[in-house]
Structure 1
Amino acid sequence: MGEIVLGVGASHSTLMNTHWDQVVHTDRAEAFRDALGTARDLIADVDPDVVVIVGSNHFRGFWLDLIPSFTLGVGEVIAAGESGTPKGPQKTDPALAQALAADLVEAGTEVAISARLQIDHGQSHAIQYLLNGIDVPVVPLVVNVFAQPLPTPARCVQLGENLAAAIQRSDRRVVVIASGGLSHQLPWPSDWTDPADEDEAFLVEAWLNGRGEWERYDKRRREIIVAARPTIFPEFDEAFLDDLQKGELRRYASMTAVELEAVAGNGGQELRTWLVMAAALGFTPGRRLAYAPMPEWLTGMGVAFLDSSEVRR
């Protein structure tokens, strides 16, 4: 029988790779980086057979021509390699991924599948830092957190619970990583059908027409993001991590996308990935390893883990 041996939640930001030399809050940045290293060591210690990475996609593998709520990579996984993140084919476990997809659909959580999935830093950031030096296959599970309408948090919880049941029917020891969040506000249109200015119109064009040539749009897109005014909600982040430690993240399942954006910014929609991971771990109480509001990276950066041994007690 398979089992989930650890759950990890971690923020991501490519600015960590490209703008480290511009960091003002160096103590915060170093504490976050060290916490990623601690989480990496925890993953190595449990020696998993495979890692399921629940993350988002920032319009480098999915586009407005087709963007499912949930997508499981069941074959090749190719990392885009933007901003110093890993690039190229990743080690995978297609047999497990295909079995998980079948089980999830049978359980009533319909997931799209991709036999040649391109991931971006929404998942490859986790590969870079949390799996550094760990030779383990990955199964990416992409959650749509940017193109409205978004899957409800309640559906994400159901996904996590059904994922846990599917893993139990396998013969693998699995780590589940949630990549994304915490609070932040991206300079992206709130409604892609009605961009407010030239920058938003450019981003919508990139989202619609970038398939196969996302790099053509990346320079200006990067300039728009780097120029954004930091908007972080530390009080929300602290409360969210406190609830994680108390095993009370299920309460966020009742929130709407509008409510979540109001308290955590549009980038806070990525917290759906944490809900998937926490649900897969049975919402067992977790432990915060670090939290740092990082205006230089536009994001509230957090790292935490959930020990599956607590679930079995």
Structure 2
Amino acid sequence: MAKIVLGVGASHSTLMNTHWEETTHKAEAERFRDALHATRDRIAAAAPDVVLILGSNHFRGFWLDLIPAFTLGVGECNSSGESGTPQGPQKVDVDLARHLANELIEGGRFDLAYSARLQIDHGQSHAIQYLLDGLDVPIVPLVVNVFAPPLPTFERCAELAGALRAAIADYPADTQVVVVASGGLSHRLPWPDWRDPHGEDEDFMVQAWLDGRENWSDYDVRRRQIIRAAEAAITPEFDDHILDLFTAGKASELAGYSTSEIEEQAGNGAQELRTWLMMAAMMDYIPAERLAYEAIPEWLTGMGVAVLDPSYSYSP
């Protein structure tokens, strides 16, 4: 049967690619990048047959014409390639992906959307770029809606993770699985609640999310300008608390947070922590090893990396 051999949580930021030279917190940036490289080596050492990537939507493959809470890629997968991230077709373990869909839906474990032609963005491809660099391993992509409210609750995300864990265990092939959660930690993007935009920039964003499916590049220059003009809103105290929960084997406490609590304490970008919670749940909440945390205002984000390794002996 299939076995989950490693879990990884890692922040992402396309500003790593587009504004590295302009980053003034260079030492912090290099430490975070080094942690990604070290994590890539840990993934390689785990010798996975497939990597399940839990990532967020950034209005590149999902638009306001259709926003599922959870979407599993079960066929073709294309990456949008924005801001220097990988572009084009990505190799998917279709057999495992379709097994998961069948077990969850037909098995009555969980109802989620699936796509035989999924487009992902840097919510997934940033992890492919840095954590799977040089590794010839297929993926199974799962996109979680974290930016177009109403959002799935943290508790519901944990429930899906439990269903995925059981479905993986039922897979008949001798398959080693690594689970990667991409996103977080604290940050605030200048993105509105699409249901109640205020001002010209927010109106523009919502219009782009409505109309951008076929021509998102037409909106990208101004969209990028709005993001680059935003001031960083990082809360290291919150990030430390979350990472402490992970290292103590208490990540399940994340399931008790509400969407509004996360927004107030750590910004809308911290809603991506849903993927970290799901990864930890799939690892049965074993203690994590904290590889890095850096608050990098030029990237607007508290950048963290944690690894959950069942074979590793952690000191209390």
Question: What TM-score do you get using the length of structure 1 for normalisation?
Answer: 0.97
Question: Partners of 2:312 and 2:250 in 1: how far apart?
Answer: 14
Secondary structure at the aligned position of 1:95 is classed as helix
Matched to 1:180, the amino acid is G
Matched to 2:78, the amino acid is I
Alignment of 1:212-223 (within 5 A): 212-223=214-225
- In the superposition, relative to structure 1, how do residues 107 and 248 fare at CA in structure 2: closer, same or farther (>3 Å)? farther
Secondary structure at the aligned position of 2:126 is classed as helix
- In the superposition, relative to structure 1, how do residues 306 and 107 fare at CA in structure 2: closer, same or farther (>3 Å)? farther
* Residue number in structure 2 paired with 1:258: 260
Question: Which blocks of at least 5 consecutive residues in structure 2 are unaligned?
Answer: none
* Residue number in structure 1 paired with 2:48: 48
* Residue number in structure 2 paired with 1:36: 36
How far is 1:108 from its partner? 2.7
Matched to 1:164, the amino acid is R
* Residue number in structure 2 paired with 1:296: 298
Question: Partners of 2:31 and 2:243 in 1: how far apart?
Answer: 16
How far is 1:310 from its partner? 6.1
Larger displacement relative to structure 2 (104-113 or 194-203): 104-113
* Residue number in structure 1 paired with 2:71: 71
User: Retained in 2: the 8 A contact 1:4–1:308?
Assistant: no
* Residue number in structure 2 paired with 1:121: 122
Question: Partners of 1:101 and 1:246 in 2: how far apart?
Answer: 32
Question: Partners of 2:108 and 2:253 in 1: how far apart?
Answer: 23
How far is 1:71 from its partner? 0.3
Question: Partners of 1:310 and 1:262 in 2: how far apart?
Answer: 35
* Residue number in structure 2 paired with 1:188: 191
Matched residues, percent identical? 63
Question: Partners of 1:151 and 1:310 in 2: how far apart?
Answer: 32
Deviations 1:225-273 (A, max 9, x none): 0110100010000010011000101111011100111111000000000
Alignment match of 1:197 (pick from 195, 199, 210): 199
1:99 to 2:99 alignment: yes
* Residue number in structure 1 paired with 2:24: 24
How far is 1:308 from its partner? 2.7
Question: Partners of 1:124 and 1:211 in 2: how far apart?
Answer: 18
User: Retained in 2: the 8 A contact 1:107–1:162?
Assistant: no
Matched to 1:137, the amino acid is P
User: Retained in 2: the 8 A contact 1:50–1:93?
Assistant: yes
User: Retained in 2: the 8 A contact 1:182–1:270?
Assistant: yes
Question: Partners of 1:212 and 1:192 in 2: how far apart?
Answer: 19
Question: Partners of 2:53 and 2:310 in 1: how far apart?
Answer: 16
Question: Partners of 1:255 and 1:290 in 2: how far apart?
Answer: 23
1:285 to 2:292 alignment: no
Secondary structure at the aligned position of 1:21 is classed as coil
User: Retained in 2: the 8 A contact 1:284–1:310?
Assistant: no
How far is 1:76 from its partner? 0.3
Question: Partners of 2:272 and 2:91 in 1: how far apart?
Answer: 24
Question: Partners of 2:195 and 2:160 in 1: how far apart?
Answer: 28
Deviations 1:42-76 (A, max 9, x none): 00001100000000010000011101000000000
1:174 to 2:177 alignment: yes
Question: Partners of 2:166 and 2:259 in 1: how far apart?
Answer: 27
Deviations 1:262-296 (A, max 9, x none): 11100000000001100000000010000000100
Larger displacement relative to structure 2 (232-241 or 163-172): 163-172
Larger displacement relative to structure 2 (134-143 or 162-171): 162-171
How far is 1:95 from its partner? 1.1
Question: Partners of 1:310 and 1:18 in 2: how far apart?
Answer: 35
Question: Which blocks of at least 5 consecutive residues in structure 1 are unaligned?
Answer: none
Aligned length: 310
* Residue number in structure 2 paired with 1:161: 162
Question: What TM-score do you get using the length of structure 2 for normalisation?
Answer: 0.96
User: Retained in 2: the 8 A contact 1:288–1:304?
Assistant: yes
